[in-house]
Amino acid sequence: MNNGKGFGSVSLQRFVSWVVLKKAMVLAALLLGAALTISQANAQDYGFVKANLDWSAGDHGFNEGGLCGVNALQGISGISLPNVPFEYQVLGNVWDRTNMMNAAQAAFRMGFVNAAVNTALCSQIHNGPVQQALAQRPDLIVAWFKSR
């Protein structure tokens, strides 16, 4: 019985299928690479910085970065720090991100730029990937402070 498919026809179909599969795999790898590149580019984008620091400046929930923020701002006269024991649980519940970011803004205006930037980084301590991305662009954090 001859169904019209000879050895050459079947081999050609397998070859074409293999080529299509390989091209699809290359395309998938390229798309994944592009997605990762876009994600990394977002970390360097001012909009990314602004969105995350704006959130920090308005969040009133538990502040995982409170102790970090106190340490970053400690010793700057004129900066109002919470009058509670500097313990993680107490500070996180008493000194929310909004107040911490206001203190960071005050430090920035007084010329303590590094302390302000470090405090802003503390505000994202709960979100490691965002904190790491922000840490790569302190210049954009400074731009954020200047815009406020």
Give the tens place of pLDDT for each residue, 65-89.
999 999 999 889 888 788 777 777 8
Geometric angle at alpha carbon 129, from 69 and 142, rounded to 5°: 50
Q: Give yes or no for a contact between 101 and 120, defined as CB atoms under 8 angstroms apart.
A: yes
CB of 117 closer than 8 Å to CB of 141: yes
For residues 145 and 104, what is the distance between their CA atoms, to the nearest angstrom?
Answer: 9
Domain count for the chain: 2
Whether 37 and 95 map to the same domain: the answer is no
Q: Tell me which of 5-9, 13-17, 85-89, 126-130 is least confident.
A: 5-9
Regarding whether 56 and 38 lie in a shared domain, the answer is no
Query: Residues 28, 68: one domain?
Result: no
Predicted pLDDT at 38: 47
Residue type, 41: A
Q: Does 89 lie in the same domain as 61?
A: yes
Do 39 and 93 belong to one domain? no
Q: How big is the chain by its Cα radius of gyration, in Å? A: 26
Q: Of 139, 122, 144, whose CA–CA distance to 131 is shortest?
A: 122
Q: Which domain holds residue 23?
A: 1-43
CB 133 within 8 A of CB 120: no
Note the pLDDT of residue 21: 60
**Which pLDDT score is estimated for 18?**
62
Clarify whether residues 94 and 134 are in a common domain: yes
Q: Are residues 70 and 136 in the same domain?
A: yes
Q: Same domain, yes or no, for 34 and 49?
A: no
pTM: 0.69
